[in-house]
Amino acid sequence: MPFFASFVVTNLSLAGRKETNGNNQRSTFRVLSDGFSIFVAMGTLTAFNLEHVTAILSRTPASLDALLRGLPDFWTHNKEGKDTWTAFDIVGHLIFADRTDWMPRLRRILNDGESVPFDPFDRLGQARESQGKTLDQLLTEFVEVRDGCIKELQTLNLKSPDFERRGKHPALGTVSVSELLATWAVHDLNHLHQLSRVMARQYQDTVGPFKAYLGVLHCDAHGA
Amino acid sequence: MPFFASFVVTNLSLAGRKETNGNNQRSTFRVLSDGFSIFVAMGTLTAFNLEHVTAILSRTPASLDALLRGLPDFWTHNKEGKDTWTAFDIVGHLIFADRTDWMPRLRRILNDGESVPFDPFDRLGQARESQGKTLDQLLTEFVEVRDGCIKELQTLNLKSPDFERRGKHPALGTVSVSELLATWAVHDLNHLHQLSRVMARQYQDTVGPFKAYLGVLHCDAHGA
């Protein structure tokens, strides 16, 4: 994003934080009234919206189910190399993160604010939890666990001022409810991105000269 | 992949090409009998398998439907920047490629071999075809078009010797049926990879400091 756009988005974000009884949309208009009307689309683009987040969260399990259930192990149980994950591992990770990470961290912020940091995430925990299960079992489990999370999230009935509440991440420092919830949705997309790469990688030689046209086969995982 | 593994995979591939009345699995064993048993898993990993290909092809439309149907336009009609695609554009592209690219190219190889090159792919064709349609319409269309392609592919009843038949790509030169079909499946995964990135990008600022942990937000599209 060019510098001037980052500047405006930062301003919109600051305006959003100062607004404690409105919503991001109103903040956008406040900034606009200061003369930034050219950036209305950009302001809208990056504004947090709980419905946008739950729209992703509620669709990921069914999408992965449609993609992976019954797929040959060739695609689901091979990985990219040493110390990387298979599709099976990724689904296990998404379940484990729903159980131990997102909602527990949201509750921590709402109960304790920044006074008690989040528990660190156990990045290898899903290996224990997935052991002895089939991928089809994990896919069913993901639908159920995610459904429970969304129901609890809706019960909390969070409103705009809640989105600005802060917690303490053990490594990243202060983070807001909106950042945590936005990350939950992007985390789904991040693992969809990883999953498509891990699967594609199994055919990196089989595609022959077409490899030149397939960006996914040139993805280096971005250090993730 | 380390050098020695590439060397063996290349050998397996050559063995596969020489085998005109067997299949890849048999070629693998022939090489193994020459003393490469340690590489059995690697040989199997990269061998072309039509059932593996159709397993992906038959699942992609339903997976995209589960992910995208009814999703707010925020996720489906925003792109990454100038001259890039939205989720809507990507689904249109997959439909257009099924109609004008994969099966027509396969037919071209089976009918004309290398004597008549493939028609060049019209990379902007989907814009015309998608015009005036909703994303939900495109998702339904993709299920139908893909279903028709898979039925036709199955009717062809291709066997191992057919996978080695060659055609002429207008830019890449000689390509085999197995390379074309493997690429069709990886092309689905390539656009799933792109789609997850385009959607995630809409929240690249909204996630705040979590951006550091989200590889998808650091993906530069690999020149694709």
- Contact criterion met (CB < 8 Å) for A222 and B221: no
- pLDDT per residue over B181-208, tens digit each? 999 999 999 999 999 999 999 999 999 9
| Better pLDDT: A16 or A145 | A145
- Residue A48 β-bridge partners: none
From B214's Cα to the closest Cα of chain A, the distance in A is 6
pLDDT at position A221, please? 74
CA A159 vs. chain centroid, Å, equals: 20
Report the residue of chain A nearest B177, measured CA to CA: A207
From B129's Cα to the closest Cα of chain A, the distance in A is 23
Place B224 in a pLDDT band, splitting at 50, 70 and 90: low
Surface-to-core class of residue A61, CB atoms within 10 Å of its CB (0-12 exposed, 13-18 middle, 19+ buried): buried
The 10 Å CB-count burial string (b at 16+, else e) for B13-47 is bebbeebeeebbeebbeebeeeebeebeebbebbb
- Contact criterion met (CB < 8 Å) for B172 and A212: yes
pLDDT above 90: percentage of residues in chain B: 71
- pLDDT per residue over A163-192, tens digit each? 999 999 999 999 999 999 999 999 999 999
Over range B10-34, report the average pLDDT: 36
| Better pLDDT: B120 or B211 | B211
Over range B128-152, report the average pLDDT: 97
Residues of A with CB below 8 A from B173's CB? 209
- pLDDT per residue over B72-102, tens digit each? 999 999 999 998 999 999 999 999 999 999 9
| Contact of A70 with A136, CB cutoff 8 Å | yes
The interface residues of chain A toward chain B in range 167-206, judged by CB-CB distance below 8 A, are 169, 172-173, 175-176, 178-180, 182-183, 185-187, 189-190, 192-197, 199-200, 202-206
Cβ of residue B218 closer than 8 Å to a chain A Cβ: yes
pLDDT at position B26, please? 33
- Contact criterion met (CB < 8 Å) for A196 and B200: no
pLDDT above 70: percentage of residues in chain A: 78
Is the pLDDT assigned to residue A7 strictly greater than 60?
no
Q: Checking DSSP bridges between strand B166-169 and strand A173-176, what pairing results, if any?
A: unpaired
Place B223 in a pLDDT band, splitting at 50, 70 and 90: low
Q: How far is CA B211 from CA A167, A172, B216, in A?
A: 16, 10, 9
Cβ of residue A54 closer than 8 Å to a chain B Cβ: no
Q: What predicted TM-score, i.e. pTM, was given to this entire model?
A: 0.82
pLDDT at position B9, please? 39
The 3-state secondary structure of chain A reads CCHHHHHHHHHHHHHHHHCCCCCHHHHHHHHHHCCCHHHHHHHHHHCCCHHHHHHHHCCHHHHHHHHHCCCCHHHHCCCCCCCCCCHHHHHHHHHHHHHHHHHHHHHHHHHHCCCCCCCCCCCCHHHHHHCCCCHHHHHHHHHHHHHHHHHHHHHHCCCHHHHCCEEEECCCEEEEHHHHHHHHHHHHHHHHHHHHHHHHHCCCCCCHHHHHHCHHHHCCHHHC
Residues of A with CB below 8 A from B66's CB? 59, 62-63, 65-66
pLDDT at position A224, please? 52
Cβ of residue B216 closer than 8 Å to a chain A Cβ: yes
CA B224/CA B116 separation, integer angstroms: 27
The interface residues of chain B toward chain A in range 99-158, judged by CB-CB distance below 8 A, are none
Over range A123-132, report the average pLDDT: 88
Of B59, B173, B179, the CB nearest to A207: B179
- Contact criterion met (CB < 8 Å) for B199 and A56: yes
